Chains A and B, each alone.
Chain A
Amino acid sequence: KNEVEQSPQNLTAQEGEFITINCSYSVGISALHWLQQHPGGGIVSLFMLSSGKKKHGRLIATINIQEKHSSLHITASHPRDSAVYICAARIRGGADGLTFGKGTHLIIQP
């Protein structure tokens, strides 16, 4: 079982809808990252969280350490938000690199 699980795997929504992507993890972590990957393959870091909530434009990321759960929200979604969103954790006591979820493929239709 992967230490970092994401849901849903695929999500199609209409423009303007509020989007939620979930991430759960089964081990202790020191930080949780949300990343965005576009069709060409390039990855952009959206957020790094260790507690609470962060907001950037229409994107909001939250984390609940006790429940080992994080969510990424997109408000007023737009077709340009279509991408793969990836949750990744820095495992406490583990290697310096990240452990990744499999990603959520989001399509926003006009």
Chain B
Amino acid sequence: DGGITQSPKYLFRKEGQNVTLSCEQNLNHDAMYWYRQDPGQGLRLIYYSQIVNDFQKGDIAEGYSVSREKKESFPLTVTSAQKNPTAFYLCASSIFWTEQFFGPGTRLTVL
């Protein structure tokens, strides 16, 4: 079955620790995205990548970093510089400029 997987579903970290969220897709999509969702707000774009070894900042990239070493994988690191990291994180992928397919999300709680 083709799809997008994110792991883990729930993640708890202490304040000041970096944490990496996994996103893997087997849809052979070139483009991948990371979004953040907060209660009462729409999803916001963190980073996106259109091709391996290249990525671009979205609207709220500060405090986050990404890599795209393989077409299938687009991990997101939430660094200690992110002021308010507790949120629901969604990864998506697409063939360029077509509908986006979303993963199940990771709910990150920083204690």
Q: A residues near B, CB below 8 A?
A: 2, 4, 30-31, 33, 35, 40-45, 48, 86, 88, 90, 95-103
Contacts and interface: CB of A to CB of B under 8 A. Distances in A.
- Binding site of A, secondary structure by majority: helix, strand, loop or mixed? strand
B46 to A, nearest CB: 9
B99 A48 contact: yes
Contacts of B29: none
A40 B104 CA distance: 8
A45 B45 contact: no
Contact of B43 (A30, A48, A86): A86
B97 A45 contact: no
Contacts of B98: 48
Interface stretch (B19-27, B33-41, B66-74): B33-41
Nearest to A9: B40
A53 B104 CA distance: 28
A95 B82 CA distance: 21
